[in-house]
Amino acid sequence: MEHILNVWLLGTFFILVTAQERHGCVLSELGPNIEATEYRTIFRPGQELALSCKLGYTSILGPRTIVCTDDGEWTETKFKCIAKRCPNPDPLSNGDLYYEDTVYQSTINYTCHEGYTLSGPKNAKCQADGTWSTTVPECKPVSCGLAPIPKFGLISFNKKISGNATYFGTHGTYKCLPPYVLFGNAHAECTASGNWTKTPECRVVTCPPPENIFNGYMSSNDQRRYNFMETVQYGCNGDYMLQGSFQISCQKNGDWSEKPACKAPCRIDIGRGRILYKEKKLWIGDLDPNKVFHNDIVSVYCLDKVRNCGYAVSTQCIDGNLKIPECFKEPSGIEYTFHSGSLPSEIEQC
């Protein structure tokens, strides 16, 4: 019995509500970011409702007021609320801005480039009033202090330094006072970590007294130590030929650069015959004195017995040695004196 009564009561309530609804308007979904100025469940026909925007939003279109009609519907409106926009942010020198939008509640993140540190807020938020929450920060260069200077050295900077401070991007060049020699990197730079690159050293470099070369002479015979970059020249005696650089210099490692050598001339070891030397065909007796120089090329003539013709074969003077090609046959004295026209150098050439 009690159960049945409950059901009956609930049913009556339901009918009452729907009956009232038929005579009024319900405050339902208004649209994004729109607010009603009044909160009631039921509005009677003829009642008005003013619309407004939530904080941070601004209205467009209209009308701003809707009215409940006799058939329980609200009048039409195009009223909309859109997010307020903050001004476009200023760029950050030596840094970057990260943001996706500039509307209400957007965030800008600020970062600085390598070698710069952020001075000021890390980010800004677009506020309900359409302004940014913070001002643009600054990216300040990392400071290094003065560059260390090696003993007996100096540094020159790429820009004027005032006071004690140097900043990221400042660089300089180290030099050593002569006769000191720089070891390490001559280039100095204030790094992004706030320290200077490694300082080089200035050291004394000397070389021992230079040694003479065989069959040659030196420009200086001083038995002293020589400084870095000092030079000594060499020459060869008589017909010796200098091979290599005529000058040596004292190097950074305390050694001399490579010495040249004097190479001996050669004697052409044939008694009778004709040779080709410097594009000239000569009887050996006419080469007076019998001497060619290191590296010179000389040809002798050989006989091709099968075809009965002569041909030149070349050989080179190497430091006093000139090898006569094996095909060369020295003629006898009689042959040479009376039948010289039949020698390989004189007959038809192959």
Ligand X SMILES: *[C@@H]1O[C@H](CO)[C@@H](O)[C@H](O)[C@H]1NC(C)=O
Residues near ligand X, by CB under 6 A: 98-100, 107, 109, 163-164, 193, 195, 197-198
**Cross-strand bridge partners of residue 52:** 35
DSSP string, 189-225: EB-TTSSBPPP-EEEE-EEPPPPP-TTEEES----S-
> Which residues lie closer than 8 Å to 209 by C-beta, 6 or more apart?
222, 223, 224, 225, 226
Residue with Cβ nearer ligand X (85 or 225):
85
Residue with Cβ nearer ligand X (6 or 109):
109
Residue with Cβ nearer ligand X (76 or 100):
100
d(CA 38, CA 75): 17
d(CA 28, CA 286): 129
Which secondary structure element, helix H or strand E, spans residue 173, and what is its range? Answer: strand 171-176
CB of 116 to ligand X, least distance (A): 16
Check residue 292 and report its DSSP letter. Answer: B
CB of 37 to ligand X, least distance (A): 35
Residue with Cβ nearer ligand X (98 or 246):
98
Residue with Cβ nearer ligand X (87 or 271):
87
Let me know the angle formed at the C-alpha of 103 by 97 and 105, rounded to the nearest 5 degrees. Answer: 85
Helix (H, G, I), strand (E, B) or coil at 39: coil
Residue with Cβ nearer ligand X (115 or 179):
115
Residue with Cβ nearer ligand X (122 or 151):
122
CB of 145 to ligand X, least distance (A): 8
CB of 82 to ligand X, least distance (A): 21
CB of 246 to ligand X, least distance (A): 43
CB of 253 to ligand X, least distance (A): 25
CB of 109 to ligand X, least distance (A): 4
CB of 193 to ligand X, least distance (A): 4
Token code pair at residue 127: 């506020």
Choose among 132, 139, 133: nearest CA to 114: 139
Residue with Cβ nearer ligand X (94 or 199):
199
d(CA 191, CA 147): 11
Residue with Cβ nearer ligand X (47 or 111):
111
Residue with Cβ nearer ligand X (49 or 126):
126
CB of 184 to ligand X, least distance (A): 11
CB of 161 to ligand X, least distance (A): 10
Residue 343 near residue 273, CB atoms below 8 Å: yes
DSSP string, 233-291: EEEE-TT-EEES-SEEEB-TTS-BPPP-EEE--B----SS-EEEETTEEEEGGGSSS--
> Looking at beta carbons, which pairs linking 255-262 to residues 24 or more positions away fall under 8 Å?
255/207, 256/207, 256/210, 256/232, 259/210, 259/211, 259/213, 259/234, 260/213, 260/216, 260/234, 261/213, 261/214, 262/213, 262/214, 262/215, 262/216, 262/236, 262/237
